[in-house]
Structures are given as structure tokens and as C-alpha cells.
Structure 1
């Protein structure tokens, strides 16, 4: 994880977004497969050990991975399936990077679906291109709306904005001059929930590294602290947030499928790689690579089907999305367990791909919405 700590004393209310790295200005953007092979693959272990790969994330954006799902930014129109496919290919190599891709996609999804033309004009093109990086801080609000925990950010309304206080744990894909979407509870005469885009350089805002994780360390994950942070009304994504969440929730959850399918693909490849040497004995194991691949392709086919109707308001459709997300988590756990068993003792070595995939699969299963959260939501939608 990036060990830098934000200095609120040096914060600037209108800090410029980070410049595009010079290598992107001097060369034509590479296609995504080239970026994965040339820039991501050599950095996987460093990322797993805590290096936040900002330059790599810029390159992924320049390759077009962050714009497929944004109708206003993609020449071909909204293509959720293409966004998930790119995330799948990235996650097969490194799911930490696949997760950060989802974070970037999610914050852009919020702005794309908002009614805030100011943000659409000034911020969205930079998010879509990867010039500006950002994250999503909706884990706590999602649990709040599901009745799992209380909302952690509270605000007072002023004539021209909101003053926000509170703390959030473990928000990812952040650093200096980043942005993220966040929801807070407005107190006072007109109580309601409001969503805003927050800049990490805003006065009163601070992020700190308070934990060290066994995996996903290079994802720019921090605890966030709001002390009288002023959010102007031109940074508001939705007020009130309820109707907006109905528009974005299916896309928010469905986009995560690319993390699961990518991990599963990576695990299957590990199993296939050892077949020439260990196939004679691995034949006695469950969840063989051909079985897993059949299940994976069925999952990918359902992803493509659901991606064509992502604004469908029918609760039955959203239940299908949740069930797909749950099935992806469960299959990722099966595939990662299989990869460990198929690779044997070699999979248990420090920095072995199999044990990294095992940690990644558990992350798919616990990141919001986690398996237990998904099952609760699905139960609530059953007739």
C-alpha cells in the first residue's frame, strides 16, 4: 500500500488533477493487451507488496478501459459488457489492478448518471481517459441502506453547500489529487441523504494508512477523515440520493463481475499450466480446469445478457444481477482452491501466483457487497 500520508495543511481547495505522464504524451496509447503484457505483468508482485501503480492506471485509461460503460464518453455508446471484459482481462493477471479499474469505473458511473452538468463537463472526461484517478466510498452507505450498519458521514447544509464530518474505513484507489464519490446524512430541518464528489485535496480532509492487509495492498486503500469539510453544491452528484441509487445500483454491482471472472480465468490458467507435469495425479482432484472453464463461460454469457439492460427497474432483474454477483464470488473461491491444489506445494511459495489468487478470490467474496450481504439482499427480493 502507498505509505504516503496526506498533509491537510498543504491542501488546496481547487487543486489541478494530476498531469498525464510524459510517456503517454510522447507515444500513441497502447492497446489494453499490450499494457497488460508490458506494464502490468512485470509489476504484479510489487503491487501485491504495496506499490500503488498510478502510472499503470493512467495507461489503462489511455487504452480506453474506463470509457466503455459511459455513453457520453464512448463513441460506440454505453457498452457495460466491454467494460467488464477489460476488467476481466486485467484481473486475470492482477486483481488488485482489476479492483482499481472497477473503482475508477464506478466513480465515473456516478458522474455519468448524475444530473450535474458541471461535473459531466469538467470531471467526467478526465475520469474516462484516466487522466484523473478516483475511487468509490459507497461500502458504508450500501450497508446503511441494507440495514446492516449506521451511516458514518453527517453534514450540515449551508446556503452554498454542505459541511461534512465523520470517518470512513478502507476506501481504495485514492491518493493526492484524486476524487471519490461519497454519501452523507444531512441533519437539520430537511434531513436526507446526499451524494457528492469529494476531492482529496479539499481542506479539512485527510487520509491515513491505518492497517496492513495480507493482500490487495497496492490498491491505495486508506481510512478517511472529514473535519468540517466543505462540499460546494456544484460538486453534488444527487440530492436526494434515493432515486439516483435506483439508476446506478445494477451497473455498480454488475461491473464487479469482471473481477470475479478474471480471477477465475487466472486460476484456470494455473491449473492448465501444470497439466503436462501433474495431470496424471491431478485427475483425482475436484473442479478440474475443463469443468471450471465451462462454468466460467456460462457466467460470462450471463454477464453479456444482463449488461444489455442495465437500467431495467424491475426488481426481478436486479435480483438476477445480485445472483450473478454471488455466483461469481462462489465460483472464484472454488477456482482459487482448485488452483492451490493443482499446483501443489509450489502454490504455497512466497509470491506464488496460486496463493495470490486465493487471497484475491477471498477479496471478491468479502468486498461490498459481500457474500453475506448479497444473500440478505436476494432474500429481500424473493416474492
Structure 2
């Protein structure tokens, strides 16, 4: 259950957040004020307790009002999760309070790294060692939550001279780190999504999240993908809620597919939360990939059913602006890294390896 003030603000600003007419600086502040960033984090570390499943539900609750806000939420919460998994306790103690209060934006720049983990692409940031740290060069093409007033971004780094890739937290104010203008997306414009160029950026050892990317990435992948699934869950639930409002106005023929979709959606949600709680996805990532695919398809199907339930009203600007936004949001869910195409390719590769 979201704080009513946050729900009201999200409903009032959802269209503006999507189109970029709302100051993106406000999003993180509103989320922090409603305390949702603290869900699923131990009280001893500044959280409100609960498990990762509760955090997924919080992302879903925000997404039911605005996917742009949920996208920011996911980026912030995923970065916090990286800190919780990092052996660098000093870095965690230094950054976590400001991340939980919304004073600092955390950007999950590990999309490239997750593709690297599956053998899809090479890492795009290279490091040259120097006394006390590294010089970094490269580019991150698509990163969310790069708030202009201050951010820290996680990135997987390749050694120029060979060796195991590692994970760094890179503060946004460093010399040589250049943030692009916000990417011109079809929606989600108030999400502070941009690219980063790194030219001889000097980062010290105290910003090291983990010395071995190939050990760290599989450990955080369930949280990375699980929290991401929250966006699809919230969107699907909202679209089905809209369908339900039309079932008594000559659209009763849609009741059966509505009930089927709602039941199937909640079964997937239960499987996701149970797998996260039990730690099953650490050893069975393919099960999580399949759930991510199924939930993205559930969101698309729900929005399609909403169109059928709404009929021609969906194409009238006065009535259909919320539907049009959800339609754009449903088009985004399949392409968030790892995209459904990438996940299906990875599942196919795993099946071939198992058969060999």
C-alpha cells in the first residue's frame, strides 16, 4: 500500500513524467519521502525490514501509477542492492544513508555487464591501473537515474592489461566524466536517462564494489531482474483494473479472459517472490529469465485487453491519455536490458549446451 500522498502525486503527474514535462529532480525526492526506498532493507542498515519480495511489490505499486517513476525507483533500489552485496563496508556506510534519503541518486549502469555475463557483448569501460586506483575510459550508452544534482553509477570494468573484470561505483562529479543530455525516449522522459562518456576518469580503490565481476553479477542478478519485474507487474495490474471497470457496460464477454489473465499474473508473481525468498534463482537463473519473459508478456496482454474493454474511447484524447501512456509503457518493458530477445537467446544457448 503506497503512501496516499505519493499515489495522488503520481496520478496527477503520470502524463507529465512520461512526456518530460515534470522536473525529474522531484521523482526521487517523492519516493524517498514516502519511505519506499527503505522496503526490503534491514532496519540496522536504515531500512524498514521486509524481504526482496516486498521491495518488488513496492516497485509494482509505483508502476501501477507511473512506469517512469518506477523506472527511477528500480535504478535507485538496484544500486542499493549492489551496496548491500558489496564487501566494501566503508563504501556502504558512506553512501547508503544518502541513497535511502534520496539525497544521492544511484544509477545501475550494469546493463552492459549483464549482457557481458551472458556473452552478448564486451564490457565498454576499460581501466588502466595507477597509484591508489585506476584511470577509466569508455562509454555507458543508456543509464537511468543520472540526476544532474548528483549521482553515483555502478559499472563493470575491464582491465586494459588483462585480468578479471571488476565492479566500481563511480561518483558523478569526477573530472573526465561527461553526462549527455537526456536521451529522447518515446516516453519515460522524466527518468534522468542519459549516456556517460569517460575520458581518463581517475577513481580510487575506495570506490570498489567488488573485485570480481563474474562472481558479483550472478549474485545480484536475482535482485536486478526481480525488481525489474516489478515494473511489468504493476503495469499489468493497473491495466486489468481498468478492464474490470468496463465489465458491466456491455463488455461482459471479456470477463473470462480477464479472470484468466489476472489469475495467471498472480501465479507468476507468487513464483517470483517465492524464488527470490528461497534463493532459487542463484542456481537456476533460467527460471528467473522465464518469469521475466512471462511477466512482460502479461503486461502486453493486459494492455491489449484494456484496449478491447475501452473500445473507441481509448482513441479519444480526453479519455484515452492514460491508456496511450500505458501502451507506450508496455512497449518499453520487453526492451529493458536484458531484453526479451536476449533472454530467449540465452535460454536457447543453455538448452543447446545441456543437450550437447
Tell me the TM-score normalized by structure 2.
Answer: 0.91
Residue of structure 1 equivalent to 2:112: 140
Aligned length: 347
Shift of 1:74: 5.5
- 1:353 matched to 2:326? The reply is no
Shift of 1:261: 0.6
Residue of structure 1 equivalent to 2:28: 57
- 1:343 matched to 2:314? The reply is no
RMSD of aligned alpha carbons: 2.1
Whether contact under 8 Å (2:39, 2:54) holds in the other structure is yes
Whether contact under 8 Å (1:155, 1:187) holds in the other structure is yes
> Per the alignment, do residues 134 and 313 of structure 1 end up closer, same or farther by CA in structure 2, a change over 3 Å counting?
closer
Unaligned runs of 5+ in 1: 1-30
Shift of 1:335: 1.0
Shift of 1:331: 1.0
Whether contact under 8 Å (1:35, 1:60) holds in the other structure is no
Give the whole-Å Cα distance in 2 for the aligned partners of 1:172 and 1:349.
32
> Per the alignment, do residues 289 and 270 of structure 1 end up closer, same or farther by CA in structure 2, a change over 3 Å counting?
same
Residue of structure 2 equivalent to 1:250: 222
Give the whole-Å Cα distance in 2 for the aligned partners of 1:217 and 1:76.
30
Whether contact under 8 Å (2:36, 2:58) holds in the other structure is yes
| Residues 325-382 of structure 1 deviation map (CA, whole Å, 9 limit, x = unaligned) | 1110111111112112221232234461112111111211110111111112223444
The secondary structure found in structure 2 opposite 1:230 is strand
Whether contact under 8 Å (2:104, 2:151) holds in the other structure is yes
Whether contact under 8 Å (2:281, 2:287) holds in the other structure is no
> Per the alignment, do residues 307 and 365 of structure 1 end up closer, same or farther by CA in structure 2, a change over 3 Å counting?
same
> Per the alignment, do residues 175 and 56 of structure 1 end up closer, same or farther by CA in structure 2, a change over 3 Å counting?
closer
Residue of structure 2 equivalent to 1:329: 296
Shift of 1:278: 4.1
Which deviates more from structure 2 when the two are superposed, residues 268-277 or residues 101-110?
268-277
Shift of 1:289: 2.5
2:39 is aligned, of 68, 86, 110, to 68
Whether contact under 8 Å (2:15, 2:322) holds in the other structure is no
Shift of 1:83: 0.3
Whether contact under 8 Å (1:62, 1:129) holds in the other structure is yes
2:206 is aligned, of 231, 234, 256, to 234
Residue of structure 2 equivalent to 1:10: none
Give the whole-Å Cα distance in 1 for the aligned partners of 2:237 and 2:175.
43
1:233-312 equivalence runs, <5 A: 233-280=205-252, 283=253, 288-310=257-279
1:35-46 equivalence runs, <5 A: 35-46=5-16
Unaligned runs of 5+ in 2: none
The secondary structure found in structure 1 opposite 2:86 is coil
1:116 is aligned, of 61, 82, 88, to 88
Whether contact under 8 Å (1:135, 1:179) holds in the other structure is yes
